[in-house]
Amino acid sequence: MQVTSAAFAVGAADLSGAPSDGLPEIAFSGRSNVGKSSLINRLVQRKKLARTSSTPGKTQQLNYYCINDAFYMVDLPGYGYVRGGQDLRRSLGKLTDRYLKGRDELRAVVQLLDVRHQPSALDLLMIEWLRGWGKPFLLVLTKTDKLSRSKLNRQLESLADGGRLAELPYATFSAVSGEGRRDIWQWLADEADLGEPAASAAGKRGSK
């Protein structure tokens, strides 16, 4: 997809603060510090659109980014460690839950996993919920530049052999090299009706 404009729209601490213009939304979900902001920046080719941080739990609201005046990318609060303690963690969990279950504009979810590690219990819980959600979701395995090609292939095989992620649509991604950018845009075009980028489709586990 050709991105002609990308701008921060609003940070919503609850759904009442979310945009009311009816534009479609794509949510980006994952544990704290998995790279959601870096993925958004690379997708739209803007280095500082979404603020990145080495400190986990930086995103503490629904951050809306308007793309091409046509749809929103929504950076959800990361689950897991959150600065502010247990009460804030529960609050952010409730916000994400209300958003995912009650936002009519939501078209699809991009669920991020750090490819270097096995999915956490919270990752698996989110994926199981998404399986029964009834709307499209894509797994994006981030930080592929941190592994050699052979280690990456072994890790992908391990994730597939575990069974919990087998046959789910996925794409690998590196914020450093941009690997996977076109595959992710193609999936969004196919599943969320956001345009027609020229790229190969994201794969499925077990496919050749």
pLDDT of residue 158: 84
143 domain-assigned: yes
Residue of 200, 126, 198, 117 lying closest to 168 (CA atoms): 126
Rounded to two decimals, the pTM is 0.84
Tens of pLDDT, residue by residue over 17-44, are 999 999 999 999 998 889 999 999 999 9
* pLDDT, tens only, 52-72: 654 444 457 899 999 999 999
- The DSSP result for 136-198, as a single string, is -EEEEEE-GGGS-HHHHHHHHHHHHHTSSSTT-EEEE--TTT-TTHHHHHHHHHHHH------
Residue located via tokens 């958004």: 40
What is the 3-class SS of 68-106, one letter each residue?
A: CCCEEEEECCCECCCCCCHHHHHHHHHHHHHHHHHCCCE
- Domain interval for residue 48: 6-199
Instruction: Give the pLDDT score at 197.
Output: 40
Q: Which residue has the tokens 């793309």?
A: 67
Q: How many structural domains comprise the chain?
A: 1
Domain presence at residue 206: no
Is residue 207 assigned to a domain? Answer: no
Residue 191 lies in a domain: yes
Give domain status of residue 136, yes or no.
yes
Residue 34 lies in a domain: yes
Q: Is residue 144 within 8 Å of residue 172, measured between CB atoms?
A: yes
* Residue 1 covered by a domain: no
In terms of DSSP bridges, do strands 203-204 and 169-172 run parallel, antiparallel, or are they unpaired?
antiparallel
Q: Which two tokens stand for residue 99?
A: 């958003």
Phi, psi of 181, deg, nearest 5: -60, -50
Residue 144 lies in a domain: yes
